[in-house]
Structure 1
Amino acid sequence: MSLTRRSLLIAGTVAGCLPAAGQALAADAWPSKPIKLVVPYPPGGSSDIIARSISQPLSAALGQSVIVENKPGANGNLGADFVAKAAPDGYTLLLCDVGALAISPSVYTKLSFDPSKDLRGVTMLAYSPHLLVVHPSVKAGNLKELVALSKTSDLNFAVTATGSAPHLAGVALQRAVDARWTYVPYKGGVQAIQDTVGGQTQVLMNGMLATLPHVQSGKLKVLGVSKATRMPLIGDVPTIAEQGVPGFESGTWQGVKAPRGTPDAVVQRLNQALVTAIRSPDIRSRLAGQGAEVVTMTPAEEEQFFNKERARWAQVVRAADIRLD
């Protein structure tokens, strides 16, 4: 074998190893500066609660500050777009309702990014079912009574945003039980809750994590939970499925996504650190006490979940003819 040929073979072998070596070096060097955890909703909602719960243990696990930054707007799409267009280096992450993000491509005709192509899954963190609640003045003690009332009274149904997961859950429920109400869109769950507590709107479906404190204080009355089984915290409250809507299940799925192109090694390390943080006994116990259960996934599992949710809710969007520019 000639020296020249041997040199070429060695060079080719080294070049073939460079991508893997580069991934390893990227993981070893990362993180070398603070990490931004973008929540695309206003403060006080389910995603914000989760983000602020894990920021300190995540910072301890990674050895860098983790900064929670709220970028609300357009049902979470402004913050998601910001992350989708950020450098794919692991320093800008999105913590959002993954189910709501999966809905956006079906609802918005002019979405400025493609969640499937521009973002990649890191992990799921927690699940919180929707609670069907009403203002205490509403004379209904269960779903059947609420449906009957909706046909004789004007009921306003507060939604966190047009095309949001709670909105579509409300639409699916309305179609299943033939209820009648008017949807009133807000710019986030906190405002929707506040107006229902104040009586400006009468009905609401929203994540249990953010809604349960208002039920416990007596400011809202809960009629049902959108989970396959009853929740221990409110074990006397029947599921919506038990009340004549078999198989009805919805909720908020908080998870983390990174810009597409973020190195696999960085994503894997992020996954491990996030899973460790959310599974810590203190956080798990705290969330359980608020109605959320820890649900973690591998990056591949999170992507599969996202795709299934996208297909599931696309059918509801088409049936209800919900489209926004």
Structure 2
Amino acid sequence: MASRKRSLSFAASPTLRAAALAACLCLASVPAWSQDWPQGPVRLVVPFDAGSTPDLAARAIGERLAARLHQPFVVENKSGAAGNIGTDAIAKASPDGRTIGVSIAGPLGVNALLFKKLPYDPAKDLAPISIAVSQPSVLVVGKKLEGTDAKALASSMKGAKLTFASIGAGSISHLGMAALATQGGADAVHIPYRGSGAAVTAVLAGEVDMALLPAAAVMPHVKAGKLWALAVASPARSPSLPNVPTLAESGLPAIQADAWIGFVAPARTPDAVVKALQNQIAQILAEPAMVEKFRAQYMDPVGGPPEGMRKQIGADIARWKPVIEAHRIALD
């Protein structure tokens, strides 16, 4: 698959530069070396198309990083191969702090179960920085199932051959629905689409019956009365969607399929840079304006440490491996 590139630079105002310098001086826990970083533009690679949720998160946080660190953060979209092309570009970049990136569960771990061979080793070639945001995956149905609640859907799934859309074979939206159908004893047919926009359009048009998709992709249509949100695939209700019950609350099998977005760097990037970035990202995500901005897009700020991100990747691999094996899902 061909890659696409699109760049955007964020410049900082003098006032924001002064504020960023003051904030950096307060980070006594960050080694002195990091105070000299960055000394030039930082490349911020997004392994998905412009307008995707990883791209939106990267641009919003990149803009604030530029303001706080008084250097441009240049966003480069490098999509293809389920996120592997752009993530490989991050892995193979020089570990000098001049290239970082954002990615998701697939390219950072789960894709190793789906592809016979990746061009990089997620565990060895990348340094986790922080999970930036998490967004709930929402089970939605179209007009054909209008008025169906989750319990009724659970019953109908056992007796009817329903169809579901995903944002691509092997995606979390595919794996989550495959797990849901299997545990519910259903014979649901998977129809993959390229991206959340196309998958949502398919549900709206009645081409498929349902989908498990990121909240940002479906909630505008739910609010417009064109789709119906039945449940979120998370262990607890999302702060962004407090009125939407979880799958477990709704009488459906409990499936955890939150879509998180994290920052990574090439392996061997200096620890001082990784720590400085994690500190900056955590502070940015704690800003009331940023919390409001992300919540408006149905994303919940996280800003956790590298260790937490590493554990999450491991948990995702353990969670989806039996589903992938049971359904014999492969992408090459």
The residue aligned with 1:82 is 89
Cα shift at 1:205: 0.7
Shift in CA distance, 55/175, structure 1 to aligned 2, threshold 3 Å? same
The yes-or-no answer on 1:300 pairing with 2:303 is no
**Secondary structure, counterpart of 1:124 in structure 2:** strand
CA contact (8 A) 1:58 1:66 kept: yes
The root-mean-square deviation of aligned C-alpha atoms, in Å, is 2.3
Aligned AA (1:323): A
TM-score (norm 2): 0.83
> Gaps spanning 5+ residues in structure 1: where?
1-22
Cα shift at 1:235: 4.1
For structure 1, which segment, 207-216 or 56-65, has the greater mean C-alpha deviation from structure 2 after superposition?
Answer: 207-216
Aligned AA (1:290): Q
CA contact (8 A) 2:48 2:80 kept: yes
Shift in CA distance, 41/64, structure 1 to aligned 2, threshold 3 Å? same
The residue aligned with 1:177 is 184
CA contact (8 A) 1:131 1:205 kept: yes
Identify the match of residue 30 of structure 1 among 28, 32, 37.
Answer: 37
The residue aligned with 1:91 is 98
TM-score (norm 1): 0.85
- With a CA cutoff of 8 Å and minimum separation of 6, indicate the structure with the bigger relative contact order: 1
**Secondary structure, counterpart of 1:243 in structure 2:** coil
Aligned AA (1:229): A
Shift in CA distance, 97/270, structure 1 to aligned 2, threshold 3 Å? same
Aligned AA (1:47): P
The residue aligned with 2:224 is 217
* 1:99-118 aligned within 5 A: 101-118=108-125
Identify the match of residue 290 of structure 2 among 260, 266, 283.
Answer: 283
The residue aligned with 1:16 is none
Deviations 1:91-135 (A, max 9, x none): 222212236632111111121111111111001111111100122
CA contact (8 A) 1:126 1:292 kept: yes
The residue aligned with 2:322 is 315
* 1:80-229 aligned within 5 A: 80-98=87-105, 101-139=108-146, 141-150=148-157, 155-229=162-236
Aligned AA (1:156): T
Partner Cα distance (2:313, 2:157) in 1:
34
Cα shift at 1:57: 0.9
Aligned AA (2:265): A
Shift in CA distance, 201/283, structure 1 to aligned 2, threshold 3 Å? same
Partner Cα distance (2:254, 2:64) in 1:
37
The runs of at least 4 consecutive aligned structure 1 residues that moved more than 6 Å come to: none
The yes-or-no answer on 1:266 pairing with 2:273 is yes
**Secondary structure, counterpart of 1:242 in structure 2:** coil
The residue aligned with 1:14 is none
**Secondary structure, counterpart of 2:139 in structure 1:** strand
> Gaps spanning 5+ residues in structure 2: where?
1-29
**Secondary structure, counterpart of 2:87 in structure 1:** helix
Shift in CA distance, 235/261, structure 1 to aligned 2, threshold 3 Å? closer
* 1:29-48 aligned within 5 A: 29-48=36-55
Shift in CA distance, 210/52, structure 1 to aligned 2, threshold 3 Å? farther
For structure 1, which segment, 178-187 or 147-156, has the greater mean C-alpha deviation from structure 2 after superposition?
Answer: 147-156
Partner Cα distance (1:44, 1:220) in 2:
21
Q: Going by fraction, where is helix more abundant, 1 or 2? A: 1
Cα shift at 1:310: 1.9
Equivalent pairs counted in the alignment come to 303
Structure 1 or 2, whichever has the larger Rg, is 1
CA contact (8 A) 2:42 2:98 kept: yes
CA contact (8 A) 2:87 2:107 kept: no
Cα shift at 1:236: 4.0
Deviations 1:196-222 (A, max 9, x none): 233333311111133222222223211
Cα shift at 1:170: 0.8
